[in-house]
Amino acid sequence: MILVKKNGNNNKTPLEDYTTEILVGILENNQELLDKFVNNILKIEGKKFTVDSQEKYTLHGDTDCIIDIVIKNEDTTCFIENKVNACEGYRQLERYSTVLKAIKEKQNKNVFLRYCTKYYDSKVVKGIDFLQYRWCDIYRFLEEYKENNLINEYICFLEEEGMSSAGNFNYEDLIVMSRINSTIAKMDECLDSIKETLSIKFNNPNERDYKRLKQIVREENYVVWCDNIISNSKSYISVGFTFQEELKTKAPFLNVDLSIHETNIKYNDVKKIKEELENIFDSNYSDDEELLFSFEKPLSDFMKSHNQFEDICDWFNSKICAVKSLIEKIE
């Protein structure tokens, strides 16, 4: 997809970033289109709106908020949180709601909170004008403007990423449905086998238990993880399978991720050796709040193995140990 390639780099940049920034670019260059988007999709009355992305708001006594899209005019402020293959962050909508209520009180503005997702993900946010919609709603709205080359390309992008609709069943779906239980059982066997290594090197791993099927749909991965692995503060190691293809790695692939949040006391130490770590791991991602490094290996690399299960588990275990060694050097 050309739009992705234009913005692509070697980092493990989330699909949300591409999708959001391109949408903002389309809207900010056409005032009439922006106003119609706000009126028809966001269900907010008014005109002469402006649009910005990645705006940071300070929330005293809590984690600061970085808003995906902020829509404003003289009377209105609207926060939009976009999700594609991820779930809501910790108290994310609640924190955004708190900021909006403060804006309403101090600036006497009408405030709105909107939540856009790829999949059905019902939320309840009380005390504020809150509305959910999906990427397929944006797709249908933009179809009326597809004579514009950029908008047409964006529509094609949404189709390629499965964001135009839930889609119809096809023969591939029938094959997947008939084999899904055995496939999940194989992944469970692999992940159960490496829990002991995670427990020894870090702490007892977390799982999503009965919700793990939602993990597959919403986040396109199937993992176990350990929290607070660096200085007993906000950080994690995640181990499992990813189904969404990345820029450098063919899906599905095995992954072992190391993440550290800016609030961790060792964050700046890790940031100083970021370039060194980029040469060790297969991919990486960073933003204002997080550094993430990932070991990745396509599952197809194990297809010819005579000891497939053992080789997969050996790869997981070796990368878990590699992450532990790196953390010991940092601490």
Tens-place pLDDT, residues 263-296: 999 999 999 999 999 999 999 988 878 999 999 9
- Angstrom distance (rounded) from CA 113 to CA 124: 11
Domain positions in the chain: 2-160, 182-330
According to the CATH classification, is domain 182-330 in 2.40.50? no
Alpha-carbon span 85 to 97, nearest angstrom: 22
Report pLDDT digits (tens) over 184-199.
899 999 999 999 999 9
Cα–Cα distance for residue pair 56/4, rounded to 1 Å: 25
The backbone torsions φ and ψ at residue 326, rounded to the nearest 5 degrees and listed phi first, read: -65, -40
Average pLDDT for the chain: 88
From first CA to last CA, the distance across the chain in angstroms is 42
Residue 218 pLDDT exceeds 90: no
Is 0.85 topped by the overall pTM? no
pLDDT in tens, 131-190: 999 999 999 999 999 999 999 999 999 998 888 876 677 888 899 889 988 998 999 999
In degrees and rounded to multiples of 5, residue 309 shows phi and psi of -60, -50
